[in-house]
């Protein structure tokens, strides 16, 4: 019996050490992962533990999620051609579309922010989808020829803890150089 207990204690200690050392990441693996849009128009950086997830949206040009399936991001692109509004109008129009799809929507006032020296609009929207309370943290950007939506979300109960991740992802947004053939 004592031998079995000692063997069990050794195994427990061994697995504890493996878990402990697995949690110590070298500095290179803590670097963010760059995720490129499938059309090449833009990119974001997400935590290293995130993976590409194109199945999140058929309309998005970029999609990723964390490995636990608790945090998500999709980037959408919209041509400015034919749209007569500015960035604030675009943000309002698309926030209204999100609101219409939610049960019991709650929309915070938009925040005008600056990312990499360019104006952006951040909007937080909460509501119910398929009996789940969701929080969306949407950042709107105006590019050279397009508007972009960096659309992050999680369960409402976890949203406050993920807000920093979502802001870092949005702040990493980069539009690729547009080459004109004209």
Q: Helix, strand, or coil here: 161?
A: helix
Note the pLDDT of residue 31. 82
Residue 135 near residue 124, CB atoms below 8 Å: yes
Note the pLDDT of residue 25. 41
pLDDT in tens, the chain (182 residues): 554 444 454 444 444 433 343 444 443 456 889 999 998 889 999 999 899 998 999 999 999 999 988 999 999 999 999 899 999 999 999 999 999 999 999 999 999 999 888 899 999 999 999 999 999 999 999 998 999 999 999 999 999 999 999 999 999 999 987 554 44
Q: What CATH code is assigned to 32-175?
A: 3.40.1000.10
Note the pLDDT of residue 27. 37
- Distance CA(165)–CA(149), nearest Å, equals 16
Residue 124 CB contacts under 8 Å (≥ 6 apart), including other chains:
107, 108, 135, 136, 137, 138
Note the pLDDT of residue 32. 86
- Distance CA(112)–CA(121), nearest Å, equals 5
Q: In the structure encoding, which two tokens stand for residue 84, read together?
A: 């007569």
Note the pLDDT of residue 107. 96
Residue 141 near residue 175, CB atoms below 8 Å: yes
- Distance CA(94)–CA(74), nearest Å, equals 14
Note the pLDDT of residue 69. 85
Paired strand residues for 118 = 115
Q: Where are the domains of the chain?
A: 32-175
Residue where the block lists tokens 């799809």: 101
């Amino acid at each position: 019996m004592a031998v079995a207990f000692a063997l069990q204690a050794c195994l427990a200690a061994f697995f504890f050490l493996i878990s402990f050392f697995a949690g110590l990441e070298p500095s290179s693996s803590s670097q963010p992962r760059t995720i490129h849009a499938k059309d090449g128009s833009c990119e974001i950086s997400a935590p290293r533990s995130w993976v590409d997830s194109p199945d999140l949206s058929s309309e998005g040009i970029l999609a990723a999620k964390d490995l636990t399936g608790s945090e998500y991001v999709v980037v959408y692109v919209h041509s400015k051609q034919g749209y007569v509004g500015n960035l604030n109008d675009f943000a309002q129009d698309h926030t209204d579309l999100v609101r219409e799809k939610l049960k019991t929507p709650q929309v915070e006032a938009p925040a005008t922010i600056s990312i990499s020296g360019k104006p952006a609009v951040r909007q937080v929207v909460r509501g119910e989808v398929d009996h789940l309370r969701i929080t969306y943290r949407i950042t709107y950007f105006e590019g050279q020829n397009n508007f972009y939506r960096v659309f992050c979300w999680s369960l409402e109960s976890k949203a406050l803890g993920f807000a920093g991740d979502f802001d870092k992802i949005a702040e990493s947004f980069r539009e690729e150089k547009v080459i004109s053939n004209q």
